[in-house]
Amino acid sequence: MRQLGLDRLRAFTYVVELGSFSAAAERLDLTQPAISLQVRELEKQVGVRLIERVGRRAAPTAAGEELLGHARRIDANVSAALEAMQRHAKGTIGRIRLGTGDTACIYFLPPVLRSLRNKFPSLDIVVSTGNSPDFLKAIEDNTIDVGLVTLPAPGRMFDVQPLLDDEFVAITSRGAVTLPEKVTPSDLAKLPVVLYEPGANSRQVIDQWAIRAGIALKPVMELGSVEAIKELVGAGLGCGVVPLMALPTAGIRRRTVIRPLQPRLCRKLAIVMRRDKPVQRGLREVIQAIKMFADEFRAPPIKG
């Protein structure tokens, strides 16, 4: 495909707008013969005459008048493209695709995203929620840029940066089942327990905790959302095992019986990317903001 040269179009546009080759040459800081050559080459390329003299003024032909409209739109689009690339170079615009679980999305990320929006209004952060194994596959396929996921994250291609430990606790509603002061796997095996669905890394962590004690938990319900687990437990349908992060407010804690697990159980949240992922400024700022908030994040102590 033949391409119109931007310099030729710019020279042609200035000749028409200023009415003379000499004025265009002065504006573009070129010689008049250089401007004349660019216009002749453009006319040769398109196969029609574009400029004619009317008295002492250079004026567009009918073809030149039509090309002028295209040239102005091309110039505007080029300027917009260069401005957009300049913002990318400064790291103030772009799109970062972040994958995480429901709990972190609801209870950890909002202040991080608010801080980033205030600092970088043009940085577009797209957050999707799901299970950690699915996000590891998405990171591998480069369909998301970074994951805030529950470990483990096996695979030599991953850059894994541990972030924080989130303790699991047993919960029930007041007046429902009775929980001991510290809840063991054998205690849970005797109770109607609601757990995460099997595909979640958090469920694997809980199952392995029970298996180490020789117990295979048989939940009465398996759900994909920590919020659904809390709702069903709150309705008196047994007990659940959830991250302490998901019980942030005094109101929730007043309505809920919360007990630590014995032995203590935590899941480890981590930032995961491909090792070969180019870290542009936008992605770097997102990672730094997550790390800074994680350093300050502390779940309130457990009270029954």
> What pLDDT is attached to residue 270?
96
The percent of residues above 90 in pLDDT, for the chain, comes to 62
- Say which range, 5-9, 249-253, 265-269, has the weakest mean pLDDT: 249-253
Question: Residue ranges of the alpha helices (H) in 108-200?
Answer: 109-119, 132-141, 185-189
Contacts of residue 251, Cβ cutoff 8 Å, sequence gap at least 6: none
What tokens does 111 get?
Answer: 């202040």
Q: Residues near 199 by Cβ (< 8 Å), separated by ≥ 6?
A: 131, 133, 134
Query: Are 91 and 121 contacting, i.e. CB atoms less than 8 angstroms apart?
Result: no
pLDDT band at 78; cut points 50, 70, 90:
confident
Q: Which CA distances in Å does 117 have to 122, 280, 283?
A: 8, 17, 13
Using CA atoms in the order 96, 99, 104, 109, what is the torsion angle rounded to 10 degrees? 10
pLDDT of residue 1: 33
User: Do the domains 6-89 and 94-163+269-296 sit in the same CATH topology, yes or no?
Assistant: no
What pLDDT shows up at residue 300?
54
pLDDT at 77 over 90: no
pTM of the model: 0.65
Predicted pLDDT at 31: 93
State pLDDT tens for residues 127-167: 999 888 899 999 998 999 999 999 989 988 999 999 999 99
Q: Given pLDDT bands bounded at 50, 70 and 90, which one contains residue 304? A: very low
Q: Which CATH number does 166-266 carry?
A: 3.40.190.10
What is the per-residue pLDDT for 265?
Answer: 95
Mean pLDDT of the chain: 89
6-89: CATH architecture? Orthogonal Bundle (1.10)
In terms of phi and psi (left: phi > 0; alpha: psi -120 to 50; beta: otherwise), the region of 142 is left
Q: Which two tokens stand for residue 64?
A: 């030149």
pLDDT one-digit tens code per residue, 205-254: 999 999 999 999 999 999 988 999 999 998 888 999 999 999 876 666 67
pLDDT tens digits along 49-72: 999 988 788 999 999 999 998 988
Q: Return the domain boundaries, the chain.
A: 6-89, 94-163+269-296, 166-266
Fold for 94-163+269-296, please state it: D-Maltodextrin-Binding Protein; domain 2 (3.40.190)
Token couple for 166? 């989130």
